[in-house]
Chain A
């Protein structure tokens, strides 16, 4: 074979390279659009780029950068949350390939700084705006159970380019992992009036979460229609979802309280293909929270649940108070009204509130048992009947047989002042340490998940639970309930205010 000489090759190579350089030029090859119509639902939102207002939706945005980086735009509309979103242009890979084959010369010469190297693969993009929420709102606890997929196996769920999508397509592989989709829904609710968390029914933790919240959400996916195209491994288009959001009773299991059937459209722009479904469900979850009456309905369900958890009214006789002459003999007298409650798995404390044997303790002390052993300071033990339990507020009412038992007087926890002296009486650690008295001060009044607590630095240890917190006048102001037990933390204990304990056990005293 005859080979070309240098003299023959060089001119041919020069001409060929020049021709290729021309065809490799981005500005010559590019036929895409660098402009896109930004719309919002609802329309009329102000468009900001880098903090500067540039227009109002519908707004035509033109990409004029030369680095190919994504642009962050922000939409602001009164009564709605600000939405920041990313517009990521697609690179013209054919041009980059041509550049690389031409020793990158066109890239150095102009493509690297050419806006024509980038384009938007669609002409229009709509952003869903979510209603803004009031600043100071009481959050509603809302456990969310795993999404239920009602799509028939193998059914069509849209198109990706010209390819038909079914429930077994890799684009919707997350349908096989409903917990992951549920996480997407949960993430939509973060920072809103809903305190959402994942809950698994039939587990102790899940059941407890549902019971405390009085309601739980069961998302049901009923229909899905994805219309996608993809470029540079990112998807563009829309996803329509039809969801039924079922709000179920946390008290009466499998009982539907109310539901919303919603069809939403999620605009897809430069999303990684596998993340499209999760993003669409996240959007659907957030749009659910925009239902104008949802917050009120959740509040009502919770309030109704609390009332129900109080149970029937219990009328008790106001006790004859334990007599003492002053501070000196006060505690020595009051310990007679404090008992040790023994169960099969351990012990706790309690205190008499009537002379005929009604005593208050913590729900977690009596656990699920119907009867407990009640040991008095005087040394005798009686059988106690657990008559009422309110696990939401961790209080229980126990009845022992007897008359003229030494009962404690009920104080006014609302009048407690910061720094006021408090005493705890109980049986910490070991039953032999019955009626141990510790002292501290009132550290604060706290609210956690709709439940109020007295914070104190009184020493509270295992076994103290259910014992009384007593004020300087010798009256019960709280039920010692829990403490923060972790390394490096000291003196942070909590008690249920006595007024709340009595209210949540639905106890009333005759005058």
Chain B
């Protein structure tokens, strides 16, 4: 767990202790999130777990932590072509994403039963992308050297998503499910995580908008 998530966790558990009513633990799978500006949200799917808490029959809070599964499911990473200075570099990309999200919900009916809810969320996403150079080609023939391209490049970026959440959830008591969608703004998004000039293309821009669709299952008491 990232050390950055500790304040969120501490904050949430303190609130839960003060206003405790009903609690639950959830497992998030899958959760689709838009990461890159030029890619759809289906390109990144995550799993995670979280904590739910109902303050009363109307309002709730929760805290989720999830990780990106793309790296795990695509062995060797994705192949990306980077054209620059008359050359084309072929990089293998690997992404890692850790998300911690604090969320709230207002239930339009008693949250002790299946209900529609609306709420807000904010959190952070720790994004890390590693690019490993495969080869560099010259349209006029084999270049024989890597030109300006570095063999290995790593970029880290932290985004702060904030927005609204809409979903349908069952009662926390016993087993429950939650189907939800989130839409908002990614503070820190809208630009590439890389500083190198040859990575300034839109393919590397992180999305400034935050879209998520997810399904979670859990149990509560």
Residues of A within 8 A of B106 (CB): 93, 96-97, 99-101
Give the chain B neighbours of A104 by CB distance below 8 A.
Answer: 15, 55, 59, 61, 104
A interface, over-half SS: helix
B92 within 8 A of A: no
Say yes or no: is A102 at the interface (Cβ < 8 Å to chain B): yes
Taking the complex as formed, is A107 at the interface, i.e. its CB lies under 8 A from any CB of chain B? yes
- Tell me the bound Cα distance from A108 to B109 in angstroms: 21
Q: Find chain B residues with CB under 8 A from A4 CB.
A: 185, 190, 208
Which positions 57-108 of chain A face chain B at CB distance < 8 Å? 68, 91, 93, 96-97, 99-104, 107-108
- Residues of B within 8 Å of A52, CB to CB, are none
In the complex, what distance in Å separates the CA atom of A97 from the CA atom of B104? 10
Chain B residues within 8 Å of A112, by CB = 18-19, 55
Shortest beta-carbon distance from B15 to chain A in Å = 6
Residue-wise interface mask of B (66-95) relative to A, using a CB-CB cutoff of 8 A (1 in contact, 0 not):
000000000000000000000000000000
Chain A's closest residue to B159 (CB) is A6
A21 vs chain B, min Cβ distance (A): 12
Q: Taking the complex as formed, is A13 at the interface, i.e. its CB lies under 8 A from any CB of chain B? A: yes
Alpha-carbon separation in the docked complex, A298 to B102 (Å):
68
Cβ of B119: which chain A residues have Cβ within 8 Å of it?
100-101
Complex interface: chain A residues within 8 A of B15 (CB): 104, 108
Size range of the interface on B?
Answer: 20 to 34
The answer for the CA separation of A4 and B162 in the assembled complex, in Å, is: 14
Q: Please give me the residue from chain A that is nearest to B188 by CB atom.
A: A6
Tally of contact residues, A, Cβ under 8 A: 22
Docked pose: A13 CA to B185 CA in angstroms: 11
Judged by a CB distance under 8 angstroms, whether A448 is at the interface is no
Closest to A98 in B: B106
Chain B residues contacting A486 (CB-CB under 8 Å) are none
CB distance from B219 to the nearest CB of A (A): 23
Residues of A within 8 A of B58 (CB): 91, 93, 96
Closest Cβ of chain A to B13, distance in Å, is: 13
- In the bound complex, how far is the Cα of B187 from the Cα of A5, in angstroms? 8
Which of B59, B119, B189 gathers the greatest number of chain A CB atoms within 10 Å? B59
Number of residue pairs A-B, CB distance < 8 angstroms? 63
Interface centre among A3, A5, A99, A100 (most CB of B within 10 A): A100
B164 touches A101 (CB 8 A): yes
**Choice from A6, A10, A91, A101 contacting B120 with Cβ under 8 Å:** A101
Q: Are B122 and A103 in contact (CB under 8 A)?
A: yes
Residues of A contacting B162 in the complex (Cβ-Cβ under 8 angstroms) = 13
Asked if A9 is at the interface (CB within 8 A of a chain B CB), the reply is yes
Residues of A within 8 A of B120 (CB): 100-103
Q: Flag B1-35 by CB within 8 Å of A: 1 or 0 each.
A: 00000000000000100110000000000000000
A100-B105, A101-B119, A102-B120 are contacts. A107–B188 as well, Cβ < 8 Å? no
Residue pair B104, A3 in contact (C-beta under 8 Å): no
Cβ of B98 under 8 Å from chain A: no
Closest chain B residue to A112 by CB distance? B19
B118 at the interface (CB under 8 A from A): yes
Docked Cα-Cα span, A68 to B164, in Å, equals 27
Residue of B nearest to A69 (CB): B56
Asked if A101 contacts B61 (CB within 8 A), the reply is: no
Kindly supply a per-residue 1/0 record for chain B positions 110-140, scoring 1 wherever the CB is within 8 Å of any chain A CB and 0 otherwise: 0000000011111000000000000000000
- Tell me the complex Cα distance, A103–B118, Å: 11
| Residues on the A chain within 8 Å of B164, using CB | 101
The reply to whether A3 and B19 form a contact with Cβ atoms under 8 Å apart is no
Query: Could you say which residues of chain B place their CB within 8 Å of the CB of A107?
Result: 19, 55, 59
> Could you tell me if A100 and B104 are in contact, using CB atoms closer than 8 angstroms?
yes
A103-B104 contact, Cβ under 8 Å, with A91-B58, A96-B58, A112-B55? yes
Q: Which residues from 217 to 248 on chain A have a C-beta closer than 8 Å to any C-beta of chain B?
A: 233
Q: Is the CB of B59 within 8 A of A9?
A: no
CA–CA, A72 to B173, complex, Å?
A: 27
Closest to B162 in A: A13
Partner of B118, one of A10, A100, A102, A108: A100
Of chain B, the residue at the smallest CB distance from A94 is B106
A98 to chain B: closest CB distance in Å?
9
- Which of B's residues lie within 8 Å of A, judged by CB? 15, 18-19, 55-56, 58-61, 102, 104-106, 109, 118-122, 162, 164, 185, 187-190, 208
13 further interface pairs, Cβ-Cβ under 8 Å (given A100-B118, A103-B102, A107-B55): A3-B190, A4-B185, A9-B185, A68-B56, A93-B58, A96-B58, A100-B104, A100-B105, A100-B119, A101-B119, A103-B122, A112-B19, A233-B109
A-B contact pairs, 25 of them (CB 8 A): A4-B185, A5-B190, A6-B188, A91-B56, A93-B58, A96-B58, A96-B59, A96-B106, A97-B106, A97-B118, A99-B59, A99-B106, A100-B60, A100-B105, A100-B106, A100-B119, A101-B119, A103-B104, A103-B122, A107-B19, A107-B55, A107-B59, A108-B19, A112-B19, A112-B55
4 smallest A-B Cβ distances: which pairs?
A100-B106, A3-B190, A3-B208, A97-B106
